[in-house]
Amino acid sequence: MIGIFGGTFDPIHYGHLRPASEVRHSLDLDALYLVPAANPPHRVSPIATPAQRMAMLELAMTEFPDLKADDRELQRGGLSYTVDTLQSFRSDYPQTALVLLMGTDAFEGIESWHQWQRLPELAHLIVMQRPGWEPESSRDWVAERIASSASELATQLAGRILFYPVTPQAISATGIREALAAGGQVSGMLPQPVLDYINQNHIYR
């Protein structure tokens, strides 16, 4: 199984890295790709440039060598639709189960995503618990796809939804950007090489 975890990563932090790493190991994924969005459709443009967000991901990987960074959305440019990204991974891995990771907040809004009905046709969805957000499984299309254990995902290439408890990390990129802009402390929320890079390049100040 190949994992795909999209985000703005403005900047990457332990709230992304630790849950992703936990999923990678507990589900024994063959690889887990972090895919930064060029322009995320539903939000204001990132502050850090695509090159800076990619550089921060690469720096974070030194502490998380079990994760990989993938720049296909940045290469593609324009609005980054997850459906296009999954289609692209599906072409690379025609016969391998794909799992799309997201936090509970992202899953909550998934029905506003471009061609969202195609997402479970292309991949399994793994919803990682995020502090302050309760998983919502009452929607019909969700209820009929719920997997009760990770082992169920291996039996098909796509189509199941797994709510996965990860160690909660009360960290957000917004919180980090706001703290940095106010001259506050963010150590412990993201890898030190990433923080050094932010400081050296005066991002978010």
The token pair at 83 is 């459906």
DSSP 117-144: GGHHHH-EEEEE--TT------SHHHHT
What letter would DSSP give residue 45? Answer: P
Determine if 144 is a binding residue for ligand ATP (CB under 6 A): no
**2 membership: H or E segment, kind and range:** strand 2-7
- Total residues interacting with ligand ATP, rule: CB under 6 A: 18
Return the number of the residue (147 or 190) whose C-beta is nearest ligand ATP. Answer: 190
Nearer to ligand ATP, 155 or 174 (CB): 174
Q: Does 9 bind ligand ATP (CB under 6 A)?
A: yes
Using CB under 6 A as the binding rule, whether residue 60 contacts ligand ATP is answered as no
Binds ligand ATP (CB under 6 A): choice among 15, 64, 122, 150:
15
The yes or no reply on residue 191 touching ligand ATP (CB under 6 A) is no
Applying CB under 6 A, which of residues 56, 99, 106, 198 lies at the interface with ligand ATP?
Answer: 106
If one asks whether residue 86 binds ligand ATP (CB under 6 A), the answer comes out as: no
Please report whether residue 162 would count as binding ligand ATP according to CB under 6 A. Answer: no
Residues 167-186 that bind ligand ATP (CB under 6 A): 169, 171-174
Residue that the structure tokens 């029905």 belong to? 111
d(C-alpha 194, C-alpha 73), whole Å: 21
Residue 17 beta carbon to ligand ATP: minimum distance, rounded to whole angstroms: 10
- Tell me: does residue 163 bind ligand ATP (CB under 6 A): no
- Under 8 Å between Cβ of 194 and 188: no
Nearest to 57 by CA among 115, 2, 8: 8
130 binds ligand ATP (CB under 6 A): yes
Close Cβ partners of 108 (under 8 Å, ≥ 6 residues apart)? 133, 136
DSSP 63-77: T-TT-EE--HHHHH-
Do 61 and 33 contact (CB within 8 A), yes or no? no
- Comparison of 80 and 172: residue with beta carbon closer to ligand ATP: 172
**Residues of this chain that bind ligand ATP (CB under 6 A):** 7-10, 15-16, 19, 102-103, 105-106, 128, 130, 169, 171-174
